[in-house]
Chains A and B, each alone.
Chain A
């Protein structure tokens, strides 16, 4: 299966944006080789600012540039963006609603061998809680590229969550991305899986596993976690059983966002695939996904449990 990392697509698309728009500025904190902003740095050295290992300074500097009509794409690992520089993002960027696009790579446990200290599993929760912030987690390289064009045009701050490892392609070049619009990848009436990021591919596989067992399961790519696509959630809730899947803590992320919306507008039985209130650890990305039950098998198992609950209610 053909695979590509979302961070690679990010680096390439930044170069495209740089050619299209003069006001695109990129900042990085000594991780440009890993975040792939080095591609932009090579093409547009005058519009790339290396900020050194100083994430808080980097985010607030981007705020200053944005106050002078620049559109800043700021990259580092998710843990250092959403974690280390949380309050700079909140006060210097989101509060004044500035055009700073926080493109955080190496999110989730698939950071791998670097271990729990480097694996952001609470970043969606942190960013989602900030007013004015838009939160997007692309599922593959094509969605990453398409989303970036939309992100450039969007007025205001965006948190864009990218991963380290190569992930399967889900979309083709005809795909159209719209901020706030979930994408239904599979029809189904027995249950709905709402996934984000790398878990979208697992959700599709889970639906295939369940189809073999005679269940028709809807699959959604909820790339935009904020603002949430309420219509998609209402449609998913019609199945009566929703499972969310994310490479993130089950506290505060996609699952919480969907549960909040479902509870208020369209109640359904729910369960959550994600990190169960624990930190990650060292290992290969594949081992870690297995170790923390971020797999198609576990999504399928969880769907069966929720469908059972629904049936016995």
Chain B
């Protein structure tokens, strides 16, 4: 990845974050912390890595993405809108009655959503199913997935980790959004995930660790993951919850609380954006 691309992705991520803040403020509910920690990964996937076409969102050959941590939906919606899947203004209908932008992603409502998620722990299994179908059909697509760190407390995640390595699903590339925070506090206090890297490795995964806000590092990891011949890859992305909005960064209270108008204006200012501009 060259500097130009890096800067382009940075600018898209900035805009994405601004839209996330504005949409959450309009919705008056939702999850800013985990949307902002995942924004750079999603920006990278939708503007660099994935073979997708917004004009043909159900192309069988396309790469897939499963947002296992479905509450990060605002980050997915802004990525899709900025990528051209639907008009940006629709982002302001987030969580409102009749909106295609449900509180958690709904594949039947919105083009570009590859799987309905929201109940934690189920997404990686869904991604595996897509990857199995890809192998059966001799398709070369990649299935990307993004898990929350707290989400790994769900036992099904470990069932799915076993399935992916058992079936040698090297077409699965998962990210762990390792921001260390969940609703009730630090993951280490709520229920420690221990050494994630060694746990994933012992489940037969190819494990990489990156700074989840560094596009160069994410890019290198994905390129390495794609060269893996047998094992599925887990990219542990070290992230900051609330990234990009300093007063939200590293604070569990911003997991599931939307900013009010005043807080949103302040956040937008910090992101170099304004309410009217977006």
Contact = CB atoms under 8 A, between A and B. Distances in A.
A96 B119 contact: no
Contact of B114 (A56, A60, A67): A67
Given A51-B163, A57-B163, A67 B128 contact: no
A66 B117 CA distance: 15
Given A67-B114, A67-B115, A69-B60, A61 B132 contact: yes
A91 B116 contact: yes
Interface stretch (B91-99, B133-141, B194-202): B133-141
B125 A60 contact: yes
A49 interface: yes
Contacts of A58: 125
B151 interface: no
A95 interface: yes
A41 B252 CA distance: 48
Contact of A88 (B122, B134, B137): B122
Contacts of B163: 51-52, 54, 57, 61
A69 B118 CA distance: 22
Residue from B66, B122, B123 with most neighbouring chain A CB atoms (10 Å): B122
B193 interface: no
Nearest to A85: B156
Nearest to A52: B162
A57 B126 contact: no
A212 interface: no
A96 B113 CA distance: 11
A135 interface: no
B127 interface: yes
B156 to A, nearest CB: 5
Contact of B130 (A46, A68, A92, A97): A68
A56 B156 contact: yes
A141 B117 CA distance: 37
A66 B115 CA distance: 10
A52 B159 CA distance: 9
Contacts, number: 105
A63 interface: yes
Interface bin, chain B = 20 to 34
Interface in A72-110: 87-88, 91-92, 95-97
A92 B122 contact: yes
Nearest to B141: A68
Contact of A62 (B116, B123, B129, B156): B129
B129 A60 contact: yes
B226 interface: no
Main secondary structure of the interface of A (DSSP, over half): helix
A63 B119 contact: no
A62 B133 CA distance: 10
Given A54-B162, A60-B126, A95-B116, A68 B137 contact: yes
A128 interface: no
- Residue with the highest number of chain A CB atoms closer than 10 Å, among B66, B107, B123, B159: B159
Interface residues of A, number: 29
A87 B127 CA distance: 17
A65 interface: yes
Contact of B156 (A49, A52, A57, A66): A57
A149 interface: no
Contacts of B162: 52, 54, 57
Given A51-B163, A68-B133, A96 B156 contact: no
A97 B108 CA distance: 8
Contacts of A52: 159, 162-163, 166
Contacts of B60: 68-69
A100 to B, nearest CB: 10
B234 interface: no
A63 B160 CA distance: 13
Of A47, A64, A65, the most chain B CB neighbours within 10 A belong to: A64
Nearest to A61: B129
A88 B122 CA distance: 7
Contacts of B133: 64-65, 67-70
Which of A47, A68, A88 is most buried by chain B, counting CB atoms within 10 A of its CB? A68
B130 to A, nearest CB: 4
Contacts of B26: none
Nearest to A53: B159
B106 interface: yes
A92 B116 contact: yes
Contact of A92 (B114, B126, B134, B137): B126
Contact of A87 (B108, B119, B126, B155): B119
Interface in B221-273: none
16 contacts: A56-B121, A57-B125, A57-B160, A60-B125, A61-B163, A63-B126, A64-B66, A64-B125, A64-B127, A65-B130, A65-B133, A67-B129, A68-B130, A88-B125, A91-B116, A92-B115
Complex A-B, nearest 4 residue pairs according to Cβ-Cβ distance, in ascending order = A64-B129, A60-B125, A68-B133, A57-B159
Interface of B: 60, 66, 106-108, 114-119, 121-123, 125-134, 136-137, 155-156, 159-160, 162-163, 166-167
Given A56-B159, A68-B130, 9 more contacts: A52-B162, A54-B156, A64-B130, A67-B107, A67-B126, A67-B130, A92-B122, A95-B106, A96-B115
